Amino acid sequence: MYWKEKFCVLLVCVLGFCCAVTSIVVPVQSPQPMHSARPTHMSRQCPPLVNFPTQCRIMAQCSVWWAELVKSPHSVCTNQVESSLWKACCPAIVGGRNRIGVMSEQSLDSEILTVSNPELARISKFGQSEVGRIAGIEARLLEHKAFLMPGSTAFAYFINMKPSDEAAPLGEQGLMVTRSTQKLKEVLRLSNEAAGIATQTLSVKDTPLAGTCIPDPTCRPSKYRTIDGSCNNLKSPLMGRSNTQLGRYLAPDYDDGVWESRDKGMPNSRTVRTVLAPDHDRVQRDVTLMLMQFGQFIDHDITHVPVFQLANGSGISCCTPDNKHQSWELRHPHCFTLDILPGDAFYRQFRVECINFVRSMVAPRSDCTFGYAEQLNQVTHWHDASTIYGSTQFQSDILRERKGGRMKTFSYQNRQLLPLDWKNNDCIGFEKGLRCFLSGDSRVNQLIGLTVMQTVWHREHNRVAGELARINPRWDDERLFQEARRVVIAELQHITYNEYLPVLLGRPVMEAYGLLPRTSGFFTGYNDTVNGNVFNEFSTAAYRYGHSMVSHWFELVDDNGATYDRLHVKDWFNNPHPLLKADVLDGVMRGLTISNPEASDELFVSDLTNMLFKTPESKHGGDLIAFNIWRGRDHGLPGYNAYRGLFGLRKAKTFSELNDLFTPETIDKMASLYKSPEEIDLYLAGMSEKVDSSSGILGHTFLHMVADQFARLKEADRYFYETGDQSGSFTIDQLNEIRKSSLAMIFCLNSDGIKNIQPLTFRPLSDMSWCITRFCCIRNLITIFWSLYAVSLDT
């Protein structure tokens, strides 16, 4: 226990100072250290840490070294009284290049097809006529009221997958090209490979489908990002823009090479889920629930693939209200229902045979060619806080107050909440006069923890805008908004790369992929040849790791660390209204930083496997994990084995050759479900891989997929917060202030009244409980941060 006693001195010193100087911070209860060691016994100099020289730094700058710090008996600073920030001795990070390099996208070399213009025009008209045929089907469905009704589980799922007004017509355009490509395969008698790849040598520009080509925007020099993500890459101005296609590591494995889902002869996805991923709890003690919640917040920032809908905006109904299959006369062509087998242990008690599932919307191809279907991402691909600001100019304009650079809020009992969505009646409680909240992302009301995150960051924008207005009184609304947005995006990116990713991926992998944020200086690795789009495999499989970390409930915790209430996840989908109560926002925030999540593995809570989007009117919900498997097949993701080869492992020829990353029990289960290793679905295989404890919390395949995607989001982003020598770059003084930000700071400055929090919100208090249980909120950081920031910003 000696090293713990020595390290404890640091924590006691910090709390003792911060709680005593009441003129700087909000006072809290006096500290009660568990040990009597005194600062006079501490080392007068910072000793090396894992053979690296160190310096006394605030903990936000030492977060990537946490695993080493808690094991070091001398990682304490002697000058704690200089600041109320918690300090420790840790090495500098000078930053390094991506030693692995971003993964090369699969080469799609193929034969060059030659088709006459009249023939190509005729085939293109077929695609247009198919969209017209579907419109006729939809008119019949609307006449028979065969669409999703509010109150059903299927409707609750649909509103989180609904296309935006801008995305819906693009989905029709993408469908025209996709159906024309399928016709090309039929007419030219092409193989599956040629149908999806060789057809990309044919342009749609000189065909009746020319209108599906997305023109490049006109880009003007600007220090600010566009709202829709365009013009980040000046050579490829559409890269990363909202309402464009996802990228891919590997060409899709559609059953026809173009768009038919990968499901013929495959095992039922619900059966795969129940066998490989039974409902079971296994808590992960070394991280907090914040890791899951922040991950979902980031996910909603960079990816949102909508599903097709009816022409009037209603949801497509593929099952009857009593969960039987819809008759063929009323079955929409985009239905891809999840069949429930008679022996299902849970659903049979409700006589469920069919669960509603609609295919993802396809995008017009960015290269303006024919070819296999690519799914549409209706939010910007960049890590640019689009969850706060929206992904189109229309969305952004609705959210802005147009005064002082601020965003609209709903004032309730002297608290500033997200604005109310007066056009949306989809949330639970609408019939009682309750409204949904409005933000930059339509999924804001999905889970209470997510709504809390959205609220906190919305407040952070207005806080920053207010500070900038105070120190720069001559700035107009537009400049205040853009500068505040610029700062908030930088804070969010810094927290992602400095606090979140090191826990998720581990420091060695972060270092290998060049993801570690620098302690000083600029990042110089911007690369305009890197594809910055979000990749399909990341969005549809790897980054859904967080589903396994969802707990049964959100705990509401008071300032003493005691849980005083719980919100059961299954009872609060699409219902954010507890936030109207005065103590809930802070209670959930504390709970996220104190509670442990479920482990990142192949086990999931029943709230997601049987009760997903359960409504008060229903007795059951959907199965998110079966949906994930099914969605992967909808998107044509190749099997898991293909990605073993992509990320440095030997492809398995037999099930027994999977023993390098899977337990014998898991291999036996896979062999009972699939005919060969080639069939294994990517998602659950990735979740079932063994985890190397030195490399974060993910198995090998997803670990490298996630690392590669965040390397792309860093290297390809001209506006990345650490990048220098660009029109949107910060000065070095500004950047150094951004580097002091932390998620703990964001929570402290934007809560209703939180008085204490641990300095690293992704790490549990249990790691520090042998020393002290809480830390003061650093409310003076607002002055430190902006007084220095203003010096260089106002020039």
pLDDT value, residue 27: 27
709 token code pair: 């995607």
CA-CA distance, 65 to 63, in Å (whole number)?
Answer: 5
204 token code pair: 């749609």
27 token code pair: 């006072």
Longest CA–CA span in the chain (Å) reads: 88
- φ, ψ at 355 (rounded to 5°): -120, 130
Helix (H) or strand (E) holding 710: helix 700-715
Half-sphere exposure of 345 (CA within 13 A, CB side): 9
- φ, ψ at 154 (rounded to 5°): -60, -40
- Which of 262, 263, 245, 375 minimizes the C-alpha distance to 308? 375
- DSSP sequence for 581-616: STTHHHHHHHHHHHS--B-SSS-B-HHHHT-BT--T
Angle at CA 670, nearest 5°, toward 544 and 537? 30
* Cβ atoms of 609 and 273 closer than 8 Å: yes
Residues serving a catalytic function are 300
* Residue 685 identity (one-letter amino acid): A
Q: For residue range 397-423, list pLDDT tens digits in order.
A: 999 999 999 999 999 999 999 999 998
Helical segments of 621-681, H only: 624-634, 640-646, 664-673
Q: How far is CA 286 from the centre of its chain?
A: 21
123 token code pair: 């085939």
**Is residue 547 part of an annotated ligand binding site?**
yes
The answer for residues whose C-beta is within 8 angstroms of residue 514's C-beta and 6 or more apart is 95, 96, 97, 98, 99, 525, 711, 714, 715
CA-CA distance, 324 to 16, in Å (whole number)?
Answer: 64
Residue 189 falls in which region: left (phi positive, over 0), alpha (psi -120 to 50) or beta: left
- Ranges of residues in the chain whose predicted pLDDT is under 70: 1-44, 73, 78-85, 106-108, 431, 766-795
pLDDT value, residue 769: 44
- Helix, coil or strand: residue 484: helix
pLDDT value, residue 19: 38
What are the C-alpha distances in Å from 131 to residues 125, 128, 172, 175?
10, 5, 7, 7
The answer for residues whose C-beta is within 8 angstroms of residue 649's C-beta and 6 or more apart is 660, 661, 700, 701
CA-CA distance, 701 to 660, in Å (whole number)?
Answer: 12
CA-CA distance, 546 to 284, in Å (whole number)?
Answer: 12
| pTM above threshold 0.75 | yes
* CB count in 10 Å sphere of residue 145: 10
Q: 358 forms bridges with which residues in the sheet?
A: 335
pLDDT value, residue 560: 87
Radius of gyration of the chain (CA): 26
| Pairing mode, strands 553-557 and 563-568 | antiparallel
Q: How far is CA 27 from the centre of its chain?
A: 36
DSSP letter (8 states) at residue 695: S
CA-CA distance, 210 to 208, in Å (whole number)?
Answer: 6
pLDDT value, residue 722: 97
- Which of 145, 167, 147 minimizes the C-alpha distance to 315? 147
DSSP letter (8 states) at residue 497: I
CA-CA distance, 469 to 479, in Å (whole number)?
Answer: 10
CA-CA distance, 721 to 225, in Å (whole number)?
Answer: 12
Judged on CB neighbours under 10 Å (0-12, 13-18, 19+), 779 is: middle
* Cβ atoms of 303 and 104 closer than 8 Å: no
| The dihedral sign for the CA sequence 456, 460, 462, 466 | positive
793 token code pair: 């910003």
- φ, ψ at 745 (rounded to 5°): -65, -45
pLDDT value, residue 425: 84
702 token code pair: 């997803």
Q: How far is CA 670 from the centre of its chain?
A: 28
| Pairing mode, strands 436-437 and 420-421 | antiparallel
CA-CA distance, 565 to 493, in Å (whole number)?
Answer: 32
| The dihedral sign for the CA sequence 254, 260, 262, 266 | negative
- Which of 38, 4, 532, 22 minimizes the C-alpha distance to 247? 532
| The dihedral sign for the CA sequence 483, 486, 492, 496 | negative
pLDDT value, residue 541: 99
pLDDT value, residue 87: 80
